[in-house]
């Protein structure tokens, strides 16, 4: 049997910094992969240049196992480098028109004699894989989706102001003056849709990407997952998310440190003169007592 001395020298187990049964990301460390239910698709709308593409890219980069794009259909010919079933589902015009007539498409549009559209099957393919299907479409497309039986979550990404949207469009350096005016006019019409009560689950003003991204994740957590933003152990965040996770905490610690230092300086400025006056007074009193 071990002696009392051995027991005394034995190291105590180090207390975990994380919640019981969870890792540093707040994920269960011993939970088996769950059976997925079909998750509600996420429809994201917003004017050109508002930054919705950046937000979607961040979701895809941080959580590739949780989100997926539906592969759209088109009747145009593939461009160099495009792969059928990856970039688009390339189909014959007659076949696509037949499927549209039979109600197999959520939304579609005719552009330059070609047809583009999102089929129910494409959305189901993403949902059946246990991912949230993300649809980046315009307001007209969202109206068509609303008329379908698809139980989607609708989010509108809005600019802080029309002046800021114009600044972002011009900052691209890829748009001609006529195109910018057209996009701004369309943006005004799309913004009017946000005034329609109940059409969008949430309108997010994209003032800063970080704040908007947090707001978007909060909508997804509440409307799609029905719980706070956390992920099961079978879908760990990507390396990019982990990097940002640490960066955010470093910034938080630095901010907290400087906030404390600011308070210390303020207290020193308030109390310092009083202490100095007291010290001078005490020194003068002792000097007076010594003389007498």
Q: Cα–Cα distance between 12 and 214 in angstroms, integer?
A: 39
- Whether the Cβ atoms of residue 62 and residue 223 lie closer than 8 Å to each other: no
Nearest to 212 by CA among 1, 50, 97, 43: 50
Task: Provide the 8-state DSSP code for 84.
Answer: B
Catalytic residues: 79, 172, 183
Q: Is 117 exposed, middle or buried (0-12, 13-18, 19+ CB in 10 A)?
A: buried
Tokens of 225: 């997952």
Task: Provide the 8-state DSSP code for 223.
Answer: I
Nearest to 115 by CA among 128, 126, 127, 104: 104
Task: Provide the 8-state DSSP code for 221.
Answer: I
Tokens of 109: 């549009």
């Amino acid at each position: 049997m071990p002696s009392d001395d051995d027991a005394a020298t034995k190291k105590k187990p180090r207390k975990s910094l994380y919640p019981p049964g969870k890792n540093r990301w707040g994920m269960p460390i011993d939970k088996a992969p769950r059976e997925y239910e079909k998750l509600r698709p996420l429809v994201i709308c917003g004017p050109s240049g508002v930054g919705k593409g950046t937000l979607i890219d961040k979701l895809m980069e941080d959580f590739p196992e949780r989100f997926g794009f539906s592969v759209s259909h088109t009747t145009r010919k593939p461009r160099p480098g495009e792969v059928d079933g990856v970039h688009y589902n390339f189909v014959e015009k007659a076949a696509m028109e037949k499927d549209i007539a039979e109600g197999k498409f959520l939304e579609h549009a005719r552009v330059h004699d070609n047809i583009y559209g999102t089929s129910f099957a494409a959305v189901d393919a993403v949902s059946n894989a246990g991912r949230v299907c993300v649809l980046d479409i315009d307001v007209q497309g969202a109206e068509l989706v609303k008329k379908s039986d698809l139980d989607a979550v609708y989010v509108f990404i809005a600019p802080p102001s029309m002046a800021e949207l114009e600044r972002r469009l011009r900052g691209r350096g890829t748009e001609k003056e006529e195109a910018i005016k057209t996009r701004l006019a369309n943006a005004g019409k799309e913004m009017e849709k946000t005034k329609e009560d109940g059409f969008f689950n949430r309108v997010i003003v994209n003032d800063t990407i970080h704040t908007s991204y947090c707001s978007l994740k909060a909508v997804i957590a509440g409307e799609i997952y029905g719980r706070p933003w956390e992920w099961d152990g079978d879908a760990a965040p990507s390396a990019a998310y982990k990097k940002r996770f640490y960066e955010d905490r470093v910034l938080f610690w630095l901010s907290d440190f400087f906030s404390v230092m600011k308070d210390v300086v303020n207290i020193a400025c308030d109390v310092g003169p009083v202490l100095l006056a007291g010290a001078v007074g005490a020194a003068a009193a002792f000097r007076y007592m010594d003389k007498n």
